Amino acid sequence: MCGIAGILTKTEIKNSLETLMLRMQTALQHRGPDDQGIYISPDREVAFAHTRLSILDLSAAGHQPMSTPDGRYWITFNGEIYNFLELRQTLEAKGEKFYSQTDTEVILKLFQQQGAECVNNLRGMFAFAIWDNQEQSCFIARDALGIKPLYYWQSGSTLIFASELRAILATKLPSIALSPEGLYGYLVSGTVPEPHTLIAGIHCLEAGHWLRWQAGNLRKQQYWQINFTSEAISLTEAKEKVRNALIDSIEHHFISDVPVGIFLSGGIDSTSIVALARQTQKGSLRTYSIAFEEDEWNEGELAQKIAKEFETDHTEYKVTASLGKELLPKFLASIDQPSIDGFNTFCVSQIAHKDGTKVVLSGLGGDELFGGYKTFQQVPKMVRLGQQLQKIQPISTGIGKGLASWGKSPRIKRLGDFLQQKPTTTAAYRSFRGIFSQREAWKITQHYFKDSWDQMPSPFPIWEEEVFQNTSISTSLPSLEDEVSRLELSCYMRNQLLRDSDVMSMACGLELRVPLVDRTLLEAIASIPSKIRLAPGKQLLIQAVTELPSWVLNRPKRGFFFPFQEWIEKDWNDYFPNHELSADISLILWYRNWSLAIFHHWLNEIAGL
């Protein structure tokens, strides 16, 4: 896991590439404290920077940017390729010679043979750029599920890219102005939806896409997308398929030249990873968990019991309101873009780092793949209700307008949004998952763009579907539940959970791996009908992992939450003032207050606006 950055240009900034790359490299130093490097091409049209967290081949042979022996191809790479040993064997059989034990060199040699098609053979998490000195072109790619981030800014013939937004801003080349689309998306969903960012002109490369830059021209193409196509399969066959795919993924995710730990929350997903890791790994296993003083939120005892059951070397970190407050400044300094999540990953990453661990596995992704959220039941109900209400138009639209304008609770306001739209899965999901209603988000956005918009378009912003373009379902999926699964994978998980996990683990010099967010795993189970794969309570996952103790299964699903509401109202209230934006926009709920407070901090400190 590393930090990458680059500049491609045909302009006069060629003369200051050294200074610009040092700025970007410094901004990414926390992502790779073990080594760093810069490459500038002879014609000064391309410059790459790299900061390295050494996981595979800890020697100097893993130094980046890395080149082929003839100097034609250069790569800067962030991530891990879990099938690199199999790919290497195939390449060696064709006569390729290797000079390191890294997955980086495998990508380089694979691209040399296959070009852009190489991404379809890479199993793992990645963001990389490869420069071809002969063709004077650059290939930039991001992994299929969006585990690793990649941001870019284009102006004329110049393209700048980096692992984090802050590195692009560090060049001081882009003019810094808020993006209305990015801000609106953030307020509606609690995170900025790709391809937008909060800075106008800077974009996030979408998951499963690549870019090609040549002679100042930029081309973007999608190479992979989520596809659920049901096939006839029995429950017994489904259980076997899931178990085999899980074991295969966990075995691949343990590939490392340094010890690998596991985040253990006490839930089914992380417990499943510990249980199967105990089946596949020899020797000791390190696990890490967070506990609280508040009994309502504390699952520390359960995590300890699980660790004892599977004989792991367990470390618990008790986070109190006062300790959390002490950690807040460092957490705030680590934010690349604001969201309503991330503090939990930041805290547990701290303890893993202090324990000397450099790689950890997380159970993230289980709810999205196996139907663990309430959205899998509630969103289809909303869609069916909306379809019935369509029969009494325009009455239902009038009701929706009334609820959106005068509804007492945030959820009622968001329901009003839904009733004014076509009853699609995307609209229902956005309403159910939302933070602020669309009208509220518009008002807050307007607060920061007073000179741009005088009034809200009716019924909603004309560019709203563009903001959420990657969440819409272009083809009919086998079931509404499959559509929800796709939305959870491509919205909440990708834009919030994965992004925050990357930034906050990297802030602690830690590589976070997600074996349940694996392209090979997803493709293996995607054909299982939703009535089996998404059965309530994650029954398929439970039945596939037979090692799960009954006392883990028989407790109600709670999710993993911090006692933020209590902390913000009492110990943390100086960090979270009640922002006065509009009398009809309630900030009583912690996540609304948090979203605005974190945004204002980022606005003042990170973006300098």
Residues 201 and 197: their CA atoms lie apart, in Å, by 8
Does the pLDDT value for residue 457 go beyond 60?
Answer: no
Are the C-beta atoms of 126 and 143 separated by less than 8 Å?
Answer: yes
Confidence of residue 310 (pLDDT cuts 50, 70, 90): very high
For β-strands 286-291 and 260-263, DSSP reports them as parallel
Residue 607 has a pLDDT of 64
On average, the pLDDT of the chain sits at 89
Residue 207 has a pLDDT of 97
Q: Say what the pTM is.
A: 0.93
pLDDT tens column, 76-101: 999 999 999 999 999 999 999 999 99
Which 3-state string (H, E, C) describes 292-320? CCCCCCCCHHHHHHHHHHCCCEEEEEECC
Does the pLDDT value for residue 40 go beyond 70?
Answer: yes
Percent of the chain residues topping a pLDDT of 90 = 64
What value does the mean pLDDT take over residues 127-139?
A: 97
Residue 281 has a pLDDT of 87
Does the pLDDT value for residue 271 go beyond 50?
Answer: yes
Burial of 265 (0-12, 13-18, 19+ CB in 10 A): buried
pLDDT tens column, 515-553: 999 999 999 999 999 999 999 999 999 999 999 999 888
Higher-confidence residue of 417 and 505: namely 505
What value does the mean pLDDT take over residues 335-354?
A: 92
Q: Give domain limits for the chain.
A: 2-174, 235-371+484-558, 375-476
The two tokens of residue 81 are: 């390729």
Residue 194 has a pLDDT of 95
Are the C-beta atoms of 527 and 406 separated by less than 8 Å?
Answer: no
- Could you tell me the sign of the dihedral formed by the alpha carbons of 446, 452, 453, 457, in that order? negative
Instruction: Report CA 24 to chain centroid distance, whole Å.
Output: 22
CATH 1.10.10.60, applies to 235-371+484-558: no
Are the C-beta atoms of 514 and 361 separated by less than 8 Å?
Answer: yes
pLDDT tens column, 312-328: 999 998 888 888 889 99
Residues 355 and 379: their CA atoms lie apart, in Å, by 42
Whole-Å CA distances, 506 to 1, 26, 164, 458: 8, 14, 11, 42
Which 3-state string (H, E, C) describes 555-589? CCCCCCCCCHHHHHHCCCCCCCCCCCCCCCCCCCC
What value does the mean pLDDT take over residues 219-230?
A: 94
Residue 20 has a pLDDT of 97
Question: Cα angle vertex 301, ends 492, 326, to 5°?
Answer: 65
Residues 341 and 63: their CA atoms lie apart, in Å, by 33
Residue 104 has a pLDDT of 96
Does the pLDDT value for residue 158 go beyond 70?
Answer: yes
Residue 463 has a pLDDT of 41
Per mean pLDDT, which range of 128-137, 518-527, 592-601 is the poorest? 592-601
What is the phi/psi pair of residue 127, to 5°? -145, 125
Per mean pLDDT, which range of 227-236, 268-277, 339-348, 469-478 is the poorest? 469-478
- Catalytic residue annotation: 2
DSSP, res 33 = B
pLDDT tens column, 241-252: 999 999 999 999
Are the C-beta atoms of 196 and 181 separated by less than 8 Å?
Answer: yes
Does the pLDDT value for residue 469 go beyond 60?
Answer: no
What's the CATH code, domain 2-174?
Answer: 3.60.20.10
